[in-house]
Structure 1
Amino acid sequence: MTIVNLQSRIDRITDILRRDDGISGAMHYTEQISWILFLKYLNDYEESKAQDALIDGKQYKYIIDTKYRWDEWAYPLKENGEYDLKNAMSGDDLVEFVNNELFPYLQNFKSNLQDVKSVKYKIGAIFEFINNRIASGHTLREVIENIADLNFQSQEDLFELSVIYENLLKGMGSDGGNSGEFYTPRPVIKAMVEVLEPTVKDTIYDGAVGSSGFLIQAYDFVMLKKNEYSTTQLKHIKEDMFFGNEKTPLAYVMGVMNMILHGIESPNIYKQNTLTQNIRDFQEKDRHSIILANPPFGGKEKSTIQQNFLVESSATELLFMQHFMKKLAKGGKAGIVIPEGVLFQNNNAFTAVKQDLLQNFNLHTILSLPAGVFLPYSGVKTNVVFFERKGGTQDIWYYEINLEKTLTKKSPIQYEQLEDFVNLYKKRTITANSWLVNIEEIKDRNYDISAKNPVKQVEVLHQAPNEIIADIQTNDKSINKLLTEINNLIEQGYEE
């Protein structure tokens, strides 16, 4: 099935769900499509494992008991392989089974604390924070029948599903309001990952996972060389490479599902508020070699949370910066999206964090993004800071994205608009859009590290007070002379 056909199928399913009394808006129908797609994927995943085991002369131990498997309750088949519509639950029976039996069964998987890395545990973690919102069993039956013939044992179908799922998550972000947490523009993520160049040796962390866009892009980048990896390295990628936290239940569910659907079978994503961790407790074993994140900004945290940080502040963006700085391993690399205010604000807290960043890390690059990158849910001007836990900062290379047209919801940023930055990143080339600033100049600015393109700076003429008064008097004389001439012309007109 092509991406176009799969997209039209998903569009048809969303239209079906919009008619249901339990569904309201993009967040709901994306959530509901997600759990149904996931269970279909899980069924195909288990069937594929069973077939592989059979070829090897072994017997596969199913994660899901027979009663709760897709081809038992959702889409039962006759002996000849045809759909057994007669024995397929529908209406109230189907909704009651899903709500009262299936979901409690899956949610109980999280009690398996012996193996938190297992797929079974991840299933329990997902269904702990999700519920069936579809009120009509007939609607649910219709959705199931539209999904049933998708084959997720096919790598092609699985890849296409991951693309469509990204579009659904993007739709949630474009819905505005609080759903912006789910989606960071993929061109920005792609550029950030490409310049940091993760390898199979890294562990990668995002403390504000959302829909897992950064981790998935890093996974795709690393897997470009999958044919070169050993079995041990592939296991590391699937189980021990990707880490993160997410505070919001729905975002957590979407993020974990998104990673699993992309092929990361056991992502180390945890449902928790990152800022509740005391950064004084971090040891080197807790740190990661690459950090990629777009943390929430504009929020406020209570004093009990602020006490987890060396520099206390109610601003979430400042707390997240400290967290990431302390979470970065020796020699590690980070790329973090932050609001413009972090760069130029100079109150005690902001200045202290920036001093720490410049003195104890190499803040080598700042990418100034254009306004509107995060529309429609935020119009805040943002930047990406790139730093390493290696030495101190000597100078900062700035790159400013200048666009001919203003970004809007319907005209979002494109990767091509970031490509020049990616190409010049290592060279640190000076152009009309990029420049270098020495650390001494930063100190003279009272640690204002905001992007000030020297090409665009207008020279300000500083005059003495007596010179300014003289200029005003000269201007007044010119204005009075012009007014006299206008009056003369008016009088001449009346005389004629």
Structure 2
Amino acid sequence: MITGELRSKVDKIWETFWTGGITNPLEVIEQFTYLLFIKGLDEIETTKEAEASILGIDFNRTFPEDKQHLRWSKFANEGDADKMYQIVQNEVFPFIKKLNTNKKSAYAKYMDDAIFKIPTPLMLSKIVDGINNIKFDKDKDTKGDLYEYLLSKVATAGTNGQFRTPRHIIDMIVNLMKPKPEDVIVDPAMGSAGFLVSSQEYLRKNHNDLFLVQGLKEHFNNNMFYGFDMDRTMLRIGAMNMMLHGVDNPNIEYKDSLSEANTDEEKFTLVLANPPFKGSLDYEAVSADLLKVTKTKKTELLFLALFLRILKTGGRCASIVPDGVLFGSTGGHKSIRKEIVENHKLEAIISMPSGVFKPYAGVSTAIMIFTKTGSGGTDKVWFYDMKADGYSLDDKRNEIDDNDISDIIERFSNLDKEVDRKRTERSFFVDKEEIVENGYDLSINKYKEVEYEEVVYDEPRVIFKRVKELEKEILQGIEDLERILEV
């Protein structure tokens, strides 16, 4: 969440859009995003130039020699607002729309109907100056936080469960799942593509040698990343986000993942998702395959059924779910939990504190991790009771020292050391038989044991004596005060 000075700067830019005649919040977000994208392209180019200069090599330039004036650092410093406006409207915008020459690419597809709508040179000049005043912290997802804040201004934000997953939670999940160079990764409710962006960053950091193998490099750029959404604004943002992070051709598509029109089956090896928990659902259009697994109108249950269908055998899933999924008593709730526990391999339930999604939602959530087997395999399930994520759990979400994330990753990566942990500890195993006996209840409170410490109090006569002594001190203080006032 952005606060303080940064929030004030963003509000000022928003006001510039509003007073300039762009009053539709989604249009503001789109235009804002285009400009951030243009600025980001220039920043990446500058970084590549510096690296190439040090290494003494050339590189594939985004801006050819005859297009240098289209870079943000060039036109943003143009003293004449009218000239800058003409450059952006007539040259920069058409240039970014045609950046990806592959006409079938997600970027080309969703940028094709993008329109530059800033109406006047003065308005553009003010917005460019405002963006120049925003300092993006490379160690934090400042742009993601900015998107989250902008989306909070949309009246419908949250109505359809559209809450951005905090970047540190996304990164934690990606580090738990450890994507591999051969994986085919999907987020069926991708939003701004946070899980896909984090996955490619993990692969660059931990498997950089994949770019030395032509087949893996081609796979990375063309066949590894899939993202679906029903909001074209989010699809555009997601496509730009992935391109800025060096993925040439992600498979980002407009798709209602739960509908009959989605025929994906046994296609992916890794699902990373935070599907919508509520909102409108066209029950009649929901795929019959999903309803066979869990007959329900709840999207969070239907998405779990979808994950099982679209994963290949041996494929893995890490999904954020509301706590109700873990203990809900309806037939739909029980059937999906039973399906995962009995017919696949449920590996872990990580309970998260309710403040993780504040200030936009106070819902309690958990991370469910499982592997599709089709033949069972659940023998025991690992539970972790997460208490802190490095931020205060109120609406302010200020940074604090308490943070369980590194401990979660460390323990999950070494489950063999978890076997002997007691139920009173932060993490522990629960046997499948016990879960079955409890009606497939997966809430951590069902199994966690609380250790009570005996508190020894003083005898009543000792406490009473202490109270009388305190009363004497109070009366003496009142008398002293009266004497002072009489002087």
Q: TM-score range by the shorter chain?
A: 0.7 to 0.9
**Match in the other structure for 2:404:** 417
1:41-190 maps to which residues of 2 (within 5 A)? Answer: 41=40, 71=69, 83=78, 85=80, 88=83, 90=85, 115-117=103-105, 122-128=107-113, 130-144=114-128, 160=138, 163-172=141-150, 178-179=156-157, 181=162, 183-190=164-171
Partner of 2:271: 291
Q: How does 1:210-359 map to 2 (within 5 A)?
A: 210-225=191-206, 227-229=208-210, 230-232=212-214, 233-277=216-260, 281-284=263-266, 287-308=267-288, 309=290, 310=292, 311-359=294-342
Contact 2:136–2:143 under 8 Å retained in 1: no
Match of 1:18 in 2: 15
Normalising by structure 1, we get a TM-score of: 0.71
**Aligned counterparts of 2:16 and 2:304: Cα–Cα separation in 1:** 44
Contact 1:162-1:258 at 8 Å conserved across structures: no
| Residue type of the alignment partner of 2:167 | R
Residue identity opposite 2:80 in structure 1: L
Percent identity of paired positions between Structure 1 and Structure 2? 25
Q: Distance in 2 between matches of 1:218 and 1:275?
A: 24
Q: Distance in 2 between matches of 1:144 and 1:305?
A: 44
Structure 2 counterpart SS, 1:34: helix
Secondary structure at 2:179 match in 1: coil
TM-score (norm 2): 0.72
Q: CA–CA distance in 2 between the matches of 1:301 and 1:401?
A: 31
Note the C-alpha offset of 1:31: 3.1
Once the two structures are superposed, residues 432-473 of structure 1 have per-residue CA deviations (whole angstroms, 9 ceiling, x without a partner) of: 1222222222222222222225444699xxxxxxxxxxxxxx
Residues 158 and 264 (structure 1), Cα distance of their counterparts in 2 relative to 1, 3 Å cut? farther
Tell me if the contact between 1:245 and 1:273 (Cα under 8 Å) persists in the aligned partners: yes
**Contact 1:187–1:413, Cα closer than 8 Å, also in 2:** no
Partner of 2:444: 451
**Per the alignment, do residues 300 and 444 of structure 1 end up closer, same or farther by CA in structure 2, a change over 3 Å counting?**
farther
SS of structure 2 residue aligned to 1:301: coil
Change (3 A) 1:293 1:70: farther
Across the aligned residues of Structure 1 and Structure 2, the Cα RMSD in angstroms comes to 4.4
Distance 1:159 1:258, change over 3 A: farther
User: Following TM superposition, by how much is the alpha carbon of 1:379 offset from its aligned partner in structure 2, in angstroms?
Assistant: 1.5
Q: Could you report, residue by residue, the CA deviation over 1:63-98 in whole angstroms, capped at 9, with x for unpaired residues?
A: 99x9xx783699988xxxx947387165xx789x57
CA contact (8 A) 2:97 2:108 kept: yes
Name 2:380's counterpart in structure 1: 395
Greater radius of gyration (CA): 1
How many angstroms does 1:37 deviate by? Answer: 2.9
Tell me the CA shift for residue 256 of structure 1: 1.9
Matched residue, 1:434: 427
Does the Cα contact within 8 Å between 1:394 and 1:438 map onto a contact in 2? yes
Give deviations 1:406-450, integer Å, cap 9, x for gaps: 611212687932222211113235251222222222222222222
Q: Distance in 2 between matches of 1:304 and 1:226?
A: 44
CA contact (8 A) 1:288 1:328 kept: yes
Distance 1:243 1:72, change over 3 A: closer
Structure 2, gaps ≥5 residues long: 453-487
Judge conservation of contact 1:162–1:261 (CA < 8 Å) in 2.
Answer: no
Q: Is the 8 A contact 2:82 2:121 kept in 1?
A: no
Structure 1 residue 39 displacement after superposition: 3.5
> More deviation in 178-187 or 20-29?
20-29
How much does 1:384 deviate?
0.6
The alpha-carbon deviation at position 25 of structure 1 amounts to: 9.2
- Taking the aligned partners of 2:126 and 2:70, their CA distance within structure 1 comes to 16
AA at the equivalent of 1:440 = E
Most deviating of 355-364 and 440-449: 440-449
Rounded to whole Å, the distance in 1 between the matches of 2:326 and 2:207 is 39
The one-letter amino acid of 1:299's match is G
How far is the alpha carbon of 1:306 from its aligned partner?
2.5
Distance 1:146 1:89 in 2: 15
1:24 Cα deviation from its structure 2 partner: 5.2
After superposition, give the CA deviation of every residue in 1:326-359 in whole Å (9 maximum; x if it has no partner): 1112212110001111111122222222221112
CA distance in 2, matches of 1:9, 1:380: 27
- Give the direction of change, closer, same or farther, for the CA distance of 1:448–1:49 in structure 2 (3 Å limit): closer
Cα deviation digits, residues 211-245 of structure 1 (max 9, x gap): 21111111111111354231523332232211110
CA contact (8 A) 1:75 1:144 kept: no
Equivalents in 2 of 1:373, 1:76: separation in Å? 40
